Structure 1
Amino acid sequence: MNFGLWAPTTARDGAFIAQNRNLERKVRALGGKKWLYACAYYTEDEFWRIYDRKRYDGLRERFYAGYLPDLWEKCGLQFNV
């Protein structure tokens, strides 16, 4: 199942990030994964525990994509606090 929450905001403050982190934890506790079409607020460690780094790196190597930013870097994670 895939669902999303949208609301207008310009805030990327602690409360906004905390709400997103709570949602990510709940989805994970229910056995789900966040789809990465929007910003994610995982730490790098959390991210690679959820998304298979070894398999991902193997695909990057196989398709000569190692020079590109990796998936964690491309998900808007610069908003982490």
Structure 2
Amino acid sequence: MITKPPGKALFEVLAPPYGLKPSDLGEEFEDRGERFRIIVLEPRRPKYPVNVERLSNRKKYKFSADSIAILLAKAQQRK
């Protein structure tokens, strides 16, 4: 039996109410010339619930769900 990591299962459940897709975990996007990756959703922080890491130095940042949805849409248009 294959089990999902707890963070992934939680993300899949919490993503739709924030306007994100369950598959958005691990997605990469660009903001102000820097590349980021979505790493977790923190529902206890309603204003900035999405944790991301900058790929260049692995530093963690917080983003609003609305910002992430816009940035992911831009990333999809570029593909």
Q: Structure 2 length normalisation: TM-score? A: 0.24
Greater per-residue strand proportion: 2
Greater per-residue helix proportion: 1
Larger CA Rg, structure 1 vs 2: 1
Q: Which has the higher contact order (CA 8 A, sep 6+)?
A: 1
Q: Structure 1 length normalisation: TM-score? A: 0.24
